[in-house]
Structure 1
């Protein structure tokens, strides 16, 4: 590999594009964004790349699934600018986010352990039921704004009753449970339109299987991200090693 990357081979933009399934314009854009090192120019102004550029492109494309396009680009720019510590910091942040997301998943799974479908929700029983809470205290408990709870209500995630005297929203046990599940699933990256059917089925005694399926999918996506980070790290390590050898070989 080291000899291949440092043997004086010259590549055109189309060569890099064909090897990665990209357009030549995408290759040029990546160079302009600092994702690839600057190309050498011929006397006539044409770009020429080396196998080291090809490895940089492989590293970037391998980083994207685990870190996302924006962070992967930032990692490559940092490496190409010689700021490897900044690149490592960005990678650490991605791993920390993945760890936090795993903690969120565990929190949802723990909440699911004690979850039992409740009766159909109505307005009057909720308003007069014991243990109810208003929107402000519940929002503070979840660490969100009251406006978020109102948005979730419009989306069908929660269905609080109303206090018959004041007209204020009243959240009883089933409502608090729904709000907690919505909050955890939102933290896990689920859009409102995917959360609403799950909560509706749980609420209507449809069983916990829909939520279990969502958690299984979530768990699989986290595992895929973890493996993608490993694959990206492997390609980046090759690029770092060969980039470090480039000056010594001229």
Structure 2
């Protein structure tokens, strides 16, 4: 479907809330689909550019500017099924981050609890890294920084992580993902056996949940605009029947 009339840049700026410079920058970065030019050389914007700009604003809040640019580019250029799947994957990533944060909150409580068997469901370094979505080298770095203490079970130094270490690793992973530095994470882990330490860790994890909630809402707001960008980009071939 073709738009009834092209939009001038001033109208695009007014309706999108972006500045002239921001529109030029986002066009250069590929956020906006290419705009045809009229005989006088002026760009002829359309409704799809409004949708793209609105989508980028919410996607940048939900995923970050780089990921937002990548997703919008994929929405326009990838096959229809892949474009739709990219949006679904973004929702799934945020949902996984929320689940891991909830597990970390449970881990904070469990780290202070008594009567747990430390040998229940122990993990190797490969298993724990996979469970947390990090590299084994990251776990070794955390160990070097005093954030994690595994059991060493062979003469070659193979690591086994018992439940206390697994719980601590979940807390570390979420706090690091939330942007907390190594000294702050080390301080919180050392204080978990005190009431105030556990309370502070729980406060930070709760703040992380709130932040993820706002990102998830922003991704939902972007949904209809992204769908319009995908539809316009594929309107000639259309999705598979």
Q: Structure 2 length normalisation: TM-score?
A: 0.68
**Within-5 A mapping of 1:158-173:** 158=148
Q: Distance in 2 between matches of 1:104 and 1:71?
A: 21
Which residue number corresponds to residue 208 of structure 2?
Answer: 218
Structure with bigger gyration radius: 1
Q: Cα gap change, 1:173/1:240 in structure 2, threshold over 3 Å: closer, same or farther? A: closer
Q: Which has the higher contact order (CA 8 A, sep 6+)?
A: 2
What runs of 5+ residues in structure 1 fail to find an aligned partner?
Answer: 119-130, 161-167
Residue 174 of structure 1: CA displacement?
Answer: 10
Query: Of 24, 27, 30, which aligns to 2:26?
Result: 30
Matched, 1:97 2:87: no
Matched, 1:202 2:192: yes
Query: Of 30, 40, 64, which aligns to 1:68?
Result: 64
Q: Cα gap change, 1:147/1:69 in structure 2, threshold over 3 Å: closer, same or farther? A: closer
Q: Distance in 1 between matches of 2:136 and 2:229?
A: 49
Q: Distance in 2 between matches of 1:109 and 1:24?
A: 45
RMSD in angstroms over aligned alpha carbons? 4.1
Which residue number corresponds to residue 48 of structure 2?
Answer: 52
Residue 94 of structure 1: CA displacement?
Answer: 0.9
Which residue number corresponds to residue 192 of structure 1?
Answer: 181
Residue 156 of structure 1: CA displacement?
Answer: 5.0
Matched, 1:10 2:7: yes
Residue 177 of structure 1: CA displacement?
Answer: 6.5
- Helix, strand or coil at the partner of 1:46: coil
Which residue number corresponds to residue 122 of structure 1?
Answer: none
Q: Distance in 1 between matches of 2:232 and 2:162?
A: 60
Deviates more, 1:185-194 or 1:229-238: 185-194
Question: How many residues of Structure 1 are paired with residues of Structure 2 in the alignment?
Answer: 221
Q: Cα gap change, 1:156/1:203 in structure 2, threshold over 3 Å: closer, same or farther? A: farther
Q: Cα gap change, 1:20/1:183 in structure 2, threshold over 3 Å: closer, same or farther? A: same
Query: Of 79, 91, 112, which aligns to 2:108?
Result: 112
Residue 175 of structure 1: CA displacement?
Answer: 7.6
Q: Distance in 1 between matches of 2:228 and 2:160?
A: 55
Q: Cα gap change, 1:243/1:201 in structure 2, threshold over 3 Å: closer, same or farther? A: same
Q: Distance in 1 between matches of 2:139 and 2:74?
A: 40
Residue 145 of structure 1: CA displacement?
Answer: 6.8
Q: Distance in 1 between matches of 2:146 and 2:188?
A: 11
Residue 199 of structure 1: CA displacement?
Answer: 1.4
Which residue number corresponds to residue 176 of structure 1?
Answer: 165
